[in-house]
């Protein structure tokens, strides 16, 4: 199927938003596991 330029722009915008959200979630998860590891090591 073909997309009009407007649909393509909408598609790209949604994908960019999803990618940024996923990056933030992964970064937060890494930070959380780092903090948990430090706490467990100090315990």
Partner 1 sequence: MTATVQTDTRTAPLPAEWRDFFALTKPRVMSLVVFTGLCGLLAAPGSIHPVLGFAAVLCIALGAGGAGALNMWWEADLDAKMKRTAGRPLPQGRLRPTDARDFGIALSVASVGTMGLAVNWLAAAILAVSILYYAVVYTIWLKPRTPQNIVIGGGAGAFPPLIGWVAVTGDITLMPVLLFAVIFMWTPPHFWALALFVRSDYAKAGIPMMPVVAGEAATRRQILLYSVALLAVSLAPWWIGGTGAIYGLTALVLSALFVALSLPVAFRQAGEGDRMRPEKRLFSYSVLYLFALFTALVVDRMLLP
Q: Given the rule CB under 8 A, which residues bind partner 1? A: 1-5, 8, 10-11, 13-15, 17-18, 20-22, 32-33, 35-36, 39-40, 43
Smallest distance, partner 1 to C-beta of residue 41, A: 12
- Please name the residue that has the structure tokens 């930070």: 31
Residue 43 DSSP SS3? coil
Nearest to 29 by CA among 21, 14, 15, 4: 21
Smallest distance, partner 1 to C-beta of residue 27, A: 14
Smallest distance, partner 1 to C-beta of residue 18, A: 5
Asked whether 11 and 3 are in contact (CB, 8 A), the reply is yes
């Amino acid at each position: 199927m073909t997309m009009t330029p407007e649909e393509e722009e909408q598609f790209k915008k949604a994908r960019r938003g999803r990618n940024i959200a996923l990056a933030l979630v992964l970064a937060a998860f890494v930070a959380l596991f780092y903090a948990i590891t430090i706490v467990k090591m100090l315990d």
